Amino acid sequence: MNSNAVEIENVTLHFPKQKGLLKSLKNLLLWKNDKFTVLRDVNINIKKGEVLGVIGKNGSGKSTLLRIISGIYPADNGTCKTAGRISLLAGLGTGFSGHQTGRENAILYGSILGHDEEEMISKLPEIIEFSELGPFIDEPVRTYSSGMKARLGLAVASAISPDILLIDEVLGVGDPQFKEKSKKRILDLVNSTSTVVLVSHSFALMTEICDRLAFIHKGKIISVGDPENIIKLYYETTGA
Amino acid sequence: MSGESSEPLLIDIGIRGKPWKSPVVNILTLFRHRFLLRNLVRREIRGRYRNAMLGYTWAVLEPAMLASVYYFLFIMLAGNPDRLYPVWVILGVIVWSCFGKGLQATVSSLSRNGQTLHLVYFPRIIFPASAVQGNIIISLMSCLVVIPIMFIYDLPLTIYLLYVPASILLAGFLAIGLGMLVAPLNCVQRDAEHLFRFIVRAGFFLSPVMWTYEMAIERGALGEMVLFNPMVVPLTMARHGIAGENIGIPWFGVLGSLGFGIIMWVIGSYVFSRYEAGAVKHL
């Protein structure tokens, strides 16, 4: 009946400002709060089966938008509705605990991403194989290079099958061979998942796989539409 | 899951349940996410004893060594303690550190886990719960020290020995409610963490860790005032348990401590659910 996977209506999000003692007391007395607005009246519907790309400069609110969709931040105003299981791929490997082995971290990270025990046990061999860590999987993660951590992160994160997949700049980790492999893995994931929201600065990739692009600037969605036009608009707005 | 026959429905996201329901909802949530909880607890425990040759032995060694220091201190200050005094102190230290470390870990449970919080959303009650559960498990490991003690002091093996693990659970329960009350605040201003570090230190002396409930009672009517401290019950319970006796605290004292724990759980859950979402923005 409803063909939207995500419906965002008038979403506004403020972030608090870091305050010192005097400023805090003043705010307390005047009963107000210093804040800045990260997203302002964002409206967007994402259709089922659509691959939406989000572009914008650093700090324009792209990642925050994904965090709204995944439920990490609740909107201060407006509503965000989603249909189905959501998975956010961001900051791969940042949640790892260095003193545990790769295998333990894979299970931990998997459970953080919402897998249950059986699912995790059945997927573990595949995850380990994809990560190409070989015998290192039973070594503590603190001995890993950053590329190895990212590989393990991507292996776990991409083993899931959500209804809505949110990808935040996770392409381009590891050596060229793995980069190619991870791009293929994510493309496979994009193809097998019905709805995808992708944040990236790689415009070539975006035009290749996205059905629509959204251009977000200073917390507002300026325009949504055909990738080529939006990229042109991006350069016009932000300067070449 | 994309191949499911039933179409997933549009659901409001970022909408939390009613905070007043959270004292009950939290318990169900923790049960539902037990696999995640278990993995986070494991991370917590592994993290404590990482890169230590003696590893988990420290869970027993630390309270034993602390207790011996307090034992000498007590002899110097008060002289001539009761034969079982070293046992009282060692149990006191174990039960108190379950509460103290559990409380501090709960207070900083959100602020320490900023990275995980920004990675994915799952019910955040899991953070304080894993912090306290980790400390409960470490304290239960510390309790292994009870076995040699029972041989050395020739103590009877009775059903009351179950009071020892029960007291640790109660101490953990008291810690989580109190900790959840300030965990969101600690994300905004870390002052809460520093204040609670002091509270735990001061509480160590104000609670019967180095002294016992009986010592306070001997001082006369004012001694009963210690029952206002909810930690008196678990500390005394553990001691009586190992001695093979019943609790030995008036029923209203026991009820008061349990009641305090439950009230703190209810208020703590409410405050935590009400404010965690906003607090996370400060991380």
Q: ipTM, 2 decimals? A: 0.85
- Which chain A residues are closer than 8 Å to B51 by Cβ? 99
Convert the pLDDT of each residue in A97-149 to its tens digit.
Answer: 888 899 999 998 888 888 888 888 899 999 999 888 889 999 999 898 888 88
Q: Is B77 on the interface with A (CB under 8 A)?
A: no
CA B80 from centroid of its chain's CA atoms: 32
| CB spacing of A111 vs B119 below 8 angstroms | no
**Cβ-based neighbours of B260, under 8 Å, separated by 6 or more:** B174, B230
Write out the two tokens for B16.
Answer: 């939390």
> A176 vs B61, which has greater pLDDT?
B61
**Cβ-based neighbours of A112, under 8 Å, separated by 6 or more:** A95, B36, B39, B116, B119, B120, B122
Question: Which positions 97-126 of B are in contact with A (Cβ < 8 Å)?
Answer: 115-122
Rounded distance between C-alpha atoms, residue B222 and residue A219, angstroms: 62
pLDDT at B4 over 50: no
pLDDT at residue B257, as a whole number: 94
Min distance A204 CA to chain B CA atoms (Å): 26
Q: What value does the mean pLDDT take over residues A159-172?
A: 79
Tell me what percent of the residues of chain A surpass a pLDDT of 90. Answer: 16
Of the partner residues A94, A100, A111, the one whose CB lies closest to the CB of residue B36: A111
Q: What value does the mean pLDDT take over residues B255-263?
A: 95
Q: Which of A9-13, B100-104, B220-224 has the lowest mean pLDDT?
A: B220-224
pLDDT at residue A84, as a whole number: 83
Min distance B148 CA to chain A CA atoms (Å): 32
| CB spacing of B35 vs A69 below 8 angstroms | no
pLDDT at B153 over 60: yes
Domain boundaries, chain B: 19-280
Convert the pLDDT of each residue in B165-179 to its tens digit.
Answer: 999 999 999 999 999
pLDDT at A178 over 90: no
For residues A138 and A102, the answer to whether their CB atoms sit within 8 Å is yes
Alpha carbons within 13 angstroms on the beta-carbon side of residue A195 total 21
Determine the residue of chain B that is closest to A103 in CA distance. B39
**Cβ-based neighbours of B86, under 8 Å, separated by 6 or more:** B67, B68, B71
- Which chain B residues are closer than 8 Å to A192 by Cβ? 2
- Which chain B residues are closer than 8 Å to A45 by Cβ? none
**Cβ-based neighbours of B77, under 8 Å, separated by 6 or more:** none
**Cβ-based neighbours of B156, under 8 Å, separated by 6 or more:** B244
DSSP class per residue in A116-157: -HHHHHHHHHHHHHHHT-GGGGGSBGGGS-HHHHHHHHHHHH
Q: Is A200 on the interface with B (CB under 8 A)?
A: no
pLDDT at B129 over 90: yes
Rounded distance between C-alpha atoms, residue A141 and residue A156, angstroms: 14
Q: Is A10 on the interface with B (CB under 8 A)?
A: no
pLDDT at residue B5, as a whole number: 43
> B16 vs B205, which has greater pLDDT?
B205
**Cβ-based neighbours of B256, under 8 Å, separated by 6 or more:** B227, B228, B230, B233
pLDDT at B54 over 80: yes
pLDDT bracket for residue B52 (50, 70, 90): confident
**Cβ-based neighbours of B76, under 8 Å, separated by 6 or more:** none
For residues B141 and B79, the answer to whether their CB atoms sit within 8 Å is no
Look at residues A145, A36, A34, A158 and name the one whose alpha carbon lies nearest to residue A96: A145
| CB spacing of A74 vs B14 below 8 angstroms | yes
pLDDT at residue B162, as a whole number: 92
Q: What value does the mean pLDDT take over residues B116-131?
A: 90
pLDDT bracket for residue B67 (50, 70, 90): confident
pLDDT at residue B131, as a whole number: 94
Write out the two tokens for B60.
Answer: 């027993």
Residue B259 phi, psi (nearest 5): -60, -40
Q: What value does the mean pLDDT take over residues B57-69?
A: 89
pLDDT bracket for residue A172 (50, 70, 90): low
Predicted TM-score (pTM) of the model is: 0.88
Q: Which amino acid is at B40?
A: L
Residue B172 phi, psi (nearest 5): -65, -40
Place of tokens 């008061």: B256
pLDDT at residue A2, as a whole number: 64
pLDDT at residue A216, as a whole number: 92
Min distance B111 CA to chain A CA atoms (Å): 14
| CB spacing of B119 vs A112 below 8 angstroms | yes
pLDDT at A58 over 50: yes
Q: Which of A78-92, A167-181, B176-190 has the lowest mean pLDDT?
A: A167-181
DSSP class per residue in chain A: ---EEEEEEEEEEEEEPP--HHHHHHHHHHT---EEEEEEEEEEEEETT-EEEEE--TTSSHHHHHHHHHTSS--SEEEEEEES-EEEEESTTTT--TTSBHHHHHHHHHHHTT--HHHHHHHHHHHHHHHT-GGGGGSBGGGS-HHHHHHHHHHHHTT---SEEEEES--S-SSHHHHHHHHHHHHHHHHHSSEEEEE-S-HHHHHHH-SEEEEEETTEEEEEE-HHHHHHHHHHHH--
pLDDT bracket for residue B1 (50, 70, 90): very low
For residues B71 and B109, the answer to whether their CB atoms sit within 8 Å is no
pLDDT at residue B2, as a whole number: 41
